[in-house]
Structure 1
Amino acid sequence: MNTETIRVGLIGCGKITQRSHATGLKAVDGVKITALCDIVAEARAVVRDAHAPDAAEFADYMDLIQSGLIDAVTVATPVYLHCPMTLAALDAGHHVLCEKPMGMSQIETAEMVAASRAVDKVLQINLSRRYNPFFQGMAKLVHSGRLGEPHHIRAVRVHTTAPDRGWSPGADWFVTKSKGGGIVGDIGVHVGDMMRWFFGDVESVRALTDTRRPDIDVVDNVAVLFRFRNGATGVLELSWTRPVGHMCVEIHGSDGILLAGANAKDGIKILGRDNEVERLSESDLTQPSPNSFQCFADAIRGVAPTPVPGELGHAMQRVIDAIHESGENGGTPVVL
């Protein structure tokens, strides 16, 4: 399929697809959105009118998968649907780009990985920081030894509200446990994956979790302590209930400390010995790199393997499961 057009079906036409998937895929040479699926006709219409006027429309994902109109799908639906939709698409011989978190549990994600291997099809997970040039630059800096031996990483991401009252109004699955909602799968998956990327595999987890919004049954505040296999430690703080939004990353090494805020345009600051301060701009850290959708197309064509295969999504799901298990048991350590 090096030169043939890649025909993609979009399963789920909500805000993520409207804001990211449809726009991103339409911009990739040799990719055509040929089919749309959502149970809400109005959501399909938004994507159709803006991005794919000729695409076939379906209310049932199995009808799309069996239509003969596609080579690949994106899955951007509530989390509890990720596994069955992905398995069905792979079984039909289609490549899959699945939103994060990959599934409801590591049992599901292991099954998804096994299925992709069995049919030799691409399974890519949309862990978006992995495709971000700014975070790629930070990873390269950490892995280069610029900070010395890695000792500790702290990451904070706090919001004023959950997505159902923010950027995706009415999307109650974000705050419904049975549908895969909760802050860990929403934003913790991104930040936790970044921490694993920078410091390697997690050995153990201790988590304190809380639900402060009275009308939901999912965790909306989390504090996590990690021990990494390399001996380093990490702290992850998440919230949907803070008075203001805030994001930051601190990376402590034997030779320096890296500080980064919410805005890549502000660059980073490195604190060295003897009170040395080095500032690196966004341009110092970044190089042009393919986004998630270009990577997906390249992997399908055999140009390059996907940088975020199902195995990475599964590894992060194990961490997510451990956070929930520890939190439900009052912070008892969970060894991965």
Structure 2
Amino acid sequence: MKVGIIGTGFTRDAHIPSLLGVENVEIVAVTSARLEKAQSAAIEFGIPHAYDEWQEMLTVHDLDFICVSTPVSTHFCIVKAALTAGAHVLCDTPAAMNFIEARSMADHARDVGRQLLINHELRYNPKRLKIRQLIHSGAIGKLQHIRIQNVTSAWNDPAGRAASDWWSFTEKGGGRLLANAPHQIDLLRWWGGKVGAVSGRLHTVVKDRLDRSSGQDWTATADDFCEISIDFQSGATASVSLFSVSRNEFGNHVQIFGTTGTMILDEREQLRLSQDGRDFIDVTIPDAIGRPPLTANSIWAQGVAALLPDAIAHLTSGRPLPEGMAFQNAIENQIVLDAVRRSSNERRTIDLRAGV
């Protein structure tokens, strides 16, 4: 299987090293908006071709599979072009800027007879899979509420980012809503089931910024604070708070409440369970061993290291894709994301039980 890589950010940490150890896979080419970055990745990983135009890669090479990890605003055009070129495509999360784009991407994949996959890598994290199993086994009784808090200092320094930083601009797909919330929403739907209603609040706390190199003034438009409330159709609820301009680093913290028990996944990735009011016990599962060495040893990279070989195995055998990478989940997540933005703009709860 001949593979092409579009983007040299997260792919360099996760996708490329994960694919190097997969049997019968050859990474043929890598592209980046900056040629020197593509060339650097090509040299590091022994990839024969490097480009600064993804269109050129699609024209020159006959590829079977393409990984797309680029700014969200570019997913729509790149994915559709890659599918048209005859490749199966793995798209990073979120799939697109909105539901309309995501639905069009899926329709196009069907029309050209190619498989479009979504990178929901956290579904391949052993601890989060364990949470799902415990919820569905009734270990905490009937699910009542899930609380997720993600607090980081990533965007705290007004002079810490470049004026060209796409993550800071709404029109480019930046902000906490599209950077982190898609993963949280996917987990919530995976754990809690169908979403009935959504409310949300988006806010840019640190708007006035300085370019970290030139010191030039610039203004961020994307949200660095995102708050989401979800009502599941089951009657359970969830709340998500994402804040990236904290002076201190607190990381990711998950609390899951049921009628007979509670689970906690803390910032150290330790999973604990309390049943019937008893003391919490450690039920942490170690991350799977035998994975390829990764440039970044994070839960995100580890998830990709498990997802990609699974994706290749299903594509080469012709088996149906596992639920976690099925693009329909990306579309359903996109509906929730769009509802959060609409709720924030209109200051009201959005009922999703009637459909889109």
Q: Is TM-score (shorter-chain normalized) higher than 0.5? A: yes
Which one-letter code corresponds to 2:5 in the other structure? L
Tell me how far apart the structure 2 counterparts of residues 92 and 21 of structure 1 sit (CA, whole Å). Answer: 21
Matches within 5 A, 1:260-279: 260-264=265-269, 266=270, 268-279=271-282
Residue from 199, 205, 226 that aligns with 2:198: 205
Task: Give, in whole Å, the separation in 1 of the partners of 2:275 and 2:288.
Answer: 22
Is 1:221 paired with 2:225?
yes
1:292 corresponding residue in structure 2: 307
- For 2:164 and 2:192, locate their aligned partners in 1 and report how far apart those are by CA, in whole Å: 34
Q: Which residue of the other structure, out of 271, 278, 283, is the alignment partner of 1:280?
A: 283
Distance 1:63 1:112 in 2: 21
Provide, for residues 78-135 of structure 1, a one-character-per-residue CA deviation record: whole Å limited to 9, x for no partner: 1111011111111222100111111010000001111222233221111221121221
Q: 2:210 maps to which residue?
A: none
Q: Which amino acid aligns with 1:295?
A: D
The answer on whether the counterparts of 2:157 and 2:245 sit within 8 Å (CA) in structure 1 is no
Query: CA distance change for structure 1 residues 167 and 19 in 2, over 3 Å: closer, same or farther?
Result: farther
Residues 80-95 of structure 1: pairs in structure 2 closer than 5 A: 80-95=73-88
Q: Which of the numbers 118, 129, 140 marks the counterpart of 1:125?
A: 118
User: Which one of the candidate residues 69, 79, 83 is aligned to 1:76?
Assistant: 69
Matched, 1:159 2:161: no
Report the Cα distance in structure 1 between the residues aligned to 2:77 and 2:157, rounded to whole angstroms.
Answer: 24
Judging changes above 3 Å, is the alpha-carbon distance between structure 1 residues 7 and 135 closer, same or farther for their aligned structure 2 residues? Answer: same
User: Contact conserved, 2:200 with 2:227, CA < 8 A, in 1?
Assistant: yes
Contact 2:260 2:277 (8 Å CA) reproduced: no
Number of equivalenced pairs = 325
Deviates more, 1:300-309 or 1:240-249: 300-309
TM-score by length of 1: 0.90
Q: Does 1:10 align with 2:5?
A: yes
Q: 2:264 — aligned with what?
A: 259
Query: 1:39 maps to which residue?
Result: 33
Is residue 309 of structure 1 aligned with residue 314 of structure 2?
A: no
TM-score (structure 2 length as normaliser):
0.85
Deviation at residue 162 of structure 1 after TM alignment = 3.4
**Distance in 2 (alpha carbons) for counterparts of 1:274 and 1:232:** 20
Q: Deviations over 1:42-78 (max 9, x none)?
A: 1101210111342x22332222223233111111111
**How far apart in 1 are the matches of 2:310 and 2:159?**
29
Moved more, 165-174 or 251-260: 165-174
Amino acid at match of 1:278: I
Q: CA deviation at 1:279?
A: 2.5
Give the partner amino acid of 1:160. S
Do residues 108 (structure 1) and 123 (structure 2) align? no
Identity percentage over the alignment? 25
Equivalent residue number for residue 231 of structure 1: 235
In structure 1, stretches of 5+ residues that fail to align are 1-5
Question: After alignment, is 112-121 or 205-214 more displaced?
Answer: 112-121
Q: Which has the higher contact order (CA 8 A, sep 6+)?
A: 2
- CA distance in 2 between partners of 1:134 and 1:163 (Å): 29
Q: Does 1:333 align with 2:349?
A: yes
Give, in angstroms, the shift of residue 274 of structure 1: 4.1
8 Å CA contact 1:164–1:171 kept in 2: the answer is: no
Partner of 2:24: 30
Q: Which runs of 5+ in 2 are unaligned?
A: 208-218, 291-302
In terms of mean alpha carbon deviation, does 58-67 or 173-182 score higher?
A: 58-67
Structure 2: which amino acid aligns with 1:39? A
Question: CA–CA distance in 1 between the matches of 2:288 and 2:61?
Answer: 40
Q: Structure 1 residues 171 and 10, CA, compared in 2 at 3 Å: closer, same or farther?
A: farther
2:256 aligns to what SS in structure 1? strand
Please tell me whether the aligned partners of residues 224 and 243 of structure 2 are also in contact (alpha carbons under 8 angstroms).
yes
Q: Distance in 2 between matches of 1:315 and 1:38?
A: 29
Match of 1:3 in 2: none
Give the letter aligned to residue 94 of structure 2.
P
Cα shift readout 1:215-271 (whole Å, capped 9, x = no counterpart) = 31011112211101111100000011112222111111111111110223x3x2222
CA displacement at 1:169 relative to structure 2: 6.5
Q: Which whole-Å deviations, capped at 9, do the CAs of 1:258-307 have from their partners, x for residues lacking one?
A: 1110223x3x2222224343331324x97989712112212211255243
One-letter identity of the residue aligned with 2:15 = H
Deviation at 1:313, TM superposition (A): 1.0
